[in-house]
């Protein structure tokens, strides 16, 4: 074999090994971010809200289940989770030419260990520390905070949304907090958010 080739082979091998050693290993893929979502058997997401959950019926708050996913797989809630909050409002209603809509209910400091909300949460604070906030009922003179279901008058469907927040803190707020104060207190602490929509079939006038 050519002596020049015998000399060049180890040199080339050493050079290739040096380049391989200098090439950084590919960065590990980041772990999937926990994703928060909710479900309910009360009605399909975006469907019609039953009369029993409306202010024109039994006025029972619907039950919800809380879920966490890691990517597409079921997972556990993050260790930073402390509490949940919910804001229920009529996104189609406005008054006084304002951009705000009608708040029907809010609740916060729902324990992070909760797996959901039971049906008919009632009025006043709950034994587990959940603060039952005010909604439209407070505007009608009801002094006891609690759920107040949809009650839109005759006309087209009104669209409602339950907005759920997963928080890394417990809120130091009174039960009669306004929605604006609640959202401000949650700002910077939201680690997950979910929503459930519904339509209320306004009854035709008799």
Q: Is the predicted pLDDT of residue 21 greater than 70, yes or no? A: no
7-16, 48-57, 136-145: the lowest-pLDDT one:
7-16
Q: Looking at the 3D structure of the chain, how many domains does it have?
A: 1
Domain presence at residue 91:
yes
Q: What is the mean pLDDT of residues 101-123?
A: 93
Please give the pLDDT value at position 201.
78
The pTM score is: 0.81
Q: Is the predicted pLDDT of residue 7 greater than 50, yes or no? A: no
Please give the pLDDT value at position 138.
53
Domain presence at residue 6:
no
Helices (H) and strands (E) in the chain, counts: 3, 10
Distances (CA, A) of 171 to 37, 152, 168, 186: 21, 31, 10, 8
Contact 91, 159 (CB under 8 A): yes
Q: What is the mean pLDDT of residues 71-100?
A: 87
Q: What is the mean pLDDT of residues 8-17?
A: 50
- 111 or 205, higher pLDDT: 111
Q: Is the predicted pLDDT of residue 166 greater than 70, yes or no? A: yes
Strands 116-117 and 64-70: antiparallel
Please give the pLDDT value at position 203.
55
- 122 or 7, higher pLDDT: 122
With cut-offs at 50, 70 and 90, classify the pLDDT of residue 48.
very high
Domain presence at residue 101:
yes
Domain presence at residue 163:
yes
In the chain, what percentage of residues exceed pLDDT 70? 79
Domain presence at residue 14:
no
Please give the pLDDT value at position 5.
46
Domain presence at residue 59:
yes
Q: What is the mean pLDDT of residues 94-121?
A: 89
With cut-offs at 50, 70 and 90, classify the pLDDT of residue 14.
low
Strand ranges, E, within the chain = 34-39, 47-48, 64-70, 73-74, 83-90, 102-111, 116-117, 131-132, 158-167, 190-200
With cut-offs at 50, 70 and 90, classify the pLDDT of residue 204.
low
Domain presence at residue 158:
yes
Name the residue range of residue 39's domain: 31-200
CATH number at residue 56: 3.90.280.10
Domain presence at residue 151:
yes
Please give the pLDDT value at position 72.
83
């Amino acid at each position: 074999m050519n002596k020049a080739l015998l000399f060049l082979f180890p040199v080339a091998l050493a050079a290739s090994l040096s380049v391989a050693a200098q090439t950084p290993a590919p960065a590990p893929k980041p772990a999937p971010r926990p994703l928060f979502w909710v479900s309910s058997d009360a009605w399909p997401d975006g469907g019609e809200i039953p009369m029993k959950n409306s202010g024109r019926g039994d006025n029972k708050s619907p039950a919800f289940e809380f879920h966490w996913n890691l990517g597409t797989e079921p997972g556990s809630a993050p260790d930073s989770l402390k509490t949940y909050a919910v804001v229920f409002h009529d996104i189609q209603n406005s008054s006084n030419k304002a951009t705000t809509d009608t708040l029907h209910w809010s609740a916060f400091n729902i324990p992070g260990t909760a797996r959901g909300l039971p049906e008919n949460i009632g009025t006043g604070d709950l034994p587990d520390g959940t603060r039952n906030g005010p909604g439209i009922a407070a505007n009608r003179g009801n002094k006891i905070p609690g759920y107040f279901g949809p009650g839109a008058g005759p006309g087209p469907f009104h669209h409602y949304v339950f907005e759920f927040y997963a928080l890394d803190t417990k809120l130091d707020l009174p039960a009669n907090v306004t929605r604006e104060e609640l959202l401000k207190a949650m700002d910077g602490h939201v680690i997950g958010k979910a929503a459930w929509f519904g339509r209320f079939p306004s009854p035709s006038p008799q």
